[in-house]
Every structure is written in structure tokens, then in C-alpha cells.
Amino acid sequence: MRDRDYFVYILASRTRVLYVGVTRDLNRRIREHKQGEFEGFTKKYRVHRRVYFESYRDVRSAIGREKQLKRWARDKKVGLIEAQNPTWEDLSASSADQEFSDQQSIPLRSGRPRSAH
């Protein structure tokens, strides 16, 4: 993952409660969710399995996409997740991070998702 990337991500609990967020440092943010470092929704409902993410170069595009996903109905978010991750695997606990790193040579346009897992 490159320094200038921003990430929109979806987390899920084991019972599939969903959370949508945005960050500049995806690995650090997911680790914070997993360790329950902050009081709030994700800690209360144990929502810390990364089931989907997208990468953007432009922070405004990433924030815009986060807001868009938060407005979506649950079934539409589920469809987005299942299109890329049908088994709802925790992507932060697999080889997905290495797979994502291998794709860094792919050109990225501002405002477009770089990769969706």
C-alpha cells in the first residue's frame, strides 16, 4: 500500500453487523478496531472483520464514497461485499494484504477505486 492512498472499508461482525469507514492507514485502523482501542459502535458490537475495501488517491473521493456507502441500504452493501468476497472472509487475516501489495503497479486515477476485495 502506498503512502498517498486512502481507503474506504467495510467491517463486519461474526453476525454480519456492518460498519463503513475511511482511513489513510488501513492496516493500522483495522488493528485499532480489532484491539478495541476506541469506545463506540465497532467495540460494542465487535465489528472488526475487514470484508471489503477500496483504495483512492484523492481523500475527497474516498470520503465521498464512504458517505455514499453509508447511505446505501444494507442489502446493497451486502451485494457489494459478496461480489468480491462471497464467503465474508476476514481479509485482514489472510493473504489479501500481500495480494493487494502486489497490485501497486496498477495505475490509479483520482476518484476511482483502485482495488476492491
Domain ranges of the chain: 6-102
Whether domain 6-102 has CATH 3.40.50.150: the reply is no
pTM: 0.78
In the block, residue with C-alpha cell 489479501: 96
∠ at Cα 1 (116, 12), nearest 5°? 45
The answer for residues whose C-beta is within 8 angstroms of residue 113's C-beta and 6 or more apart is: 8, 54, 55, 56, 65
Q: pLDDT by residue (tens digit) across 40-95?
A: 999 999 999 999 999 999 999 999 999 999 999 999 999 999 999 999 999 987 54
In the block, residue with C-alpha cell 442489502: 75
